[in-house]
Amino acid sequence: MAAPAVEGVAVGAAALRSVLLRVRQAAQRAGTQPERVRVVAVSKTKPVSLIRQIYDAGHRRFGENYVQEIVDKAPQLPEDIEWHYVGHLQSNKAKILLTGVPNLAMVEGVDNAKVATHLDRAVSNLGRKPLKVLVQVNTSGEASKSGVDPSDCVELAKYVKLQCPNLDFSGLMTIGMPDYSSTPENFRTLSNCRAEVCKALGMAVDQCELSMGMSGDFEQAIEMGSTNVRIGSTIFGPREYPKKQTQ
CA 218 to chain centre: 13
What pLDDT is attached to residue 242?
Answer: 59
What pLDDT is attached to residue 9?
Answer: 61
Residues with Cβ < 8 Å from 237, sequence gap 6 or more?
Answer: 15
Identify the sign of the CA torsion 205, 143, 133, 186.
negative
What pLDDT is attached to residue 4?
Answer: 46
Determine contact, residues 62/48, Cβ cutoff 8 Å.
no
Per DSSP, the three-state class of 45 is: coil
Residues with Cβ < 8 Å from 72, sequence gap 6 or more?
Answer: none
Domains of the chain as residue ranges with CATH = 3-236 (3.20.20.10)
What pLDDT is attached to residue 3?
Answer: 44
CA distance to 3, 45, 176, per residue, from 246 (Å):
35, 12, 21
Phi, psi of 196 (to 5 degrees): -70, -40
What pLDDT is attached to residue 22?
Answer: 98
* Low-confidence stretches of the chain (pLDDT beneath 50): 1-6, 245-246
What pLDDT is attached to residue 182?
Answer: 62
What pLDDT is attached to residue 142?
Answer: 79
DSSP string, 159-208: HHHHH-TTEEEEEEE---STTS---HHHHHHHHHHHHHHHHHHT--GGGS
Per DSSP, the three-state class of 52 is: helix
**129: which DSSP letter?**
P
